[in-house]
Amino acid sequence: MEDKLFFILFYFKNYPLQEIIGFRFGLSQSQANEWLHRLTTILKAALKEGGYLPERCPKSLQAILSNCSTQELALDGTERKRQRPSDPNEQKQYYSGKKRAHPVKNDIIVEVASGYIDYLSQTVEGKKPDKKIVDEEQLVFPPNSCLYQDSGFQGYEPEGVLTYQLHKKPRGGELRVGDKLVNSIISSTRIVVEHVIAGIKRCHIVKDIFRNTKKQFNDIVMEIACRLHNFRTLCRQAKNDKKLMPIFL
């Protein structure tokens, strides 16, 4: 059991070729492929059983966030590179002129205080704007929540939510001193979501160019990477809480 756990975590962390990981564990390429998909399903189920979010259903978001200790949240999008599709129609669907590649994208919602990922959107083509993803999913937040977001969500103001958004520099002009100050304050709070994205991408399977062509597998690995981040976050919190506990002789 320990070897199987090490095998799948090693794959997610380093994302080697199947021939390489097969050689490392004494398997053929076909055996490595079979075990990778089998153990990925088990790892996902185990993390779900442990209760390590993120939530994937937009309709359940409000109930999940209502149970959070704080209502300060950060919203951001993250892209992942993938191999160029062989199908011409799929190439057109996924091609992002901004990135000059065929990436996939997700939006995430993070608790500012803890860096815990509460929500992960469905995986979509990389050319779709961040705001369009949340508009289509019709997210509902608890009343009086505070939501920090970047300029990619310009105009996104959910009902009953206080939004803080970076001011865009006007074309051919400069930001006012007050706007620069506001941007600095918002950025210092929003930086937590950038750290979370970096934590997710400690798993190179969602950082390197994604090679697997199995349907929906790019969504599954992103969900597992987020759950692993939440698992590490809770373990760190438990460790810190233990250090802070008073010692009675």
User: pLDDT truncated to tens, each residue of the chain (249 aa)?
Assistant: 999 999 999 999 999 999 999 999 999 999 999 999 999 999 999 999 998 989 999 999 999 999 887 889 999 999 999 998 888 888 888 888 777 888 999 999 999 999 999 999 999 998 899 999 999 999 999 999 999 998 889 889 999 999 998 878 888 888 888 888 888 888 888 999 999 999 999 999 999 999 998 889 999 999 999 999 999 999 988 887 765 555 433
Do 87 and 198 lie in one domain? The reply is yes
Do 151 and 38 lie in one domain? The reply is no
Q: What is the pLDDT of residue 248?
A: 38
Do 142 and 201 lie in one domain? The reply is yes
Do 27 and 110 lie in one domain? The reply is no
Do 97 and 29 lie in one domain? The reply is no
With respect to residue 146, please indicate whether it lies within any of the assigned structural domains: yes
Do 117 and 224 lie in one domain? The reply is yes
- The rounded distance, in Å, linking the Cα atoms of 197 and 195 is 5
Query: What predicted TM-score, i.e. pTM, was given to this entire model?
Result: 0.90
With respect to residue 229, please indicate whether it lies within any of the assigned structural domains: yes
Do 33 and 136 lie in one domain? The reply is no
**Domain range for 34:** 1-50
Do 43 and 81 lie in one domain? The reply is no
Do 61 and 178 lie in one domain? The reply is yes
Final residue of a structural domain among 35, 50, 65? 50
Do 101 and 205 lie in one domain? The reply is yes
Q: What is the pLDDT of residue 249?
A: 36
CA angle in degrees (0–180, nearest 5) for 58-63-65:
85
With respect to residue 246, please indicate whether it lies within any of the assigned structural domains: no
Do 112 and 231 lie in one domain? The reply is yes
Please, what sign has the CA dihedral across residues 151, 156, 158, 163? positive
Q: What is the pLDDT of residue 93?
A: 83
Task: Find the radius of gyration of the CA atoms of the chain.
Answer: 20
For tokens 């901004």, what's the residue?
98
With CA atoms as reference, report the closest residue to 228 among 220, 238, 217. 220
> Does an H or E element contain 178, and which?
helix 177-200
- Structure tokens that stand for 102 in this block: 């065929």
With respect to residue 92, please indicate whether it lies within any of the assigned structural domains: yes
Q: What is the pLDDT of residue 210?
A: 94
Total domains in the fold of the chain: 2
Q: How many CB atoms lie within 10 A of CB 92?
A: 12
Do 124 and 139 lie in one domain? The reply is yes
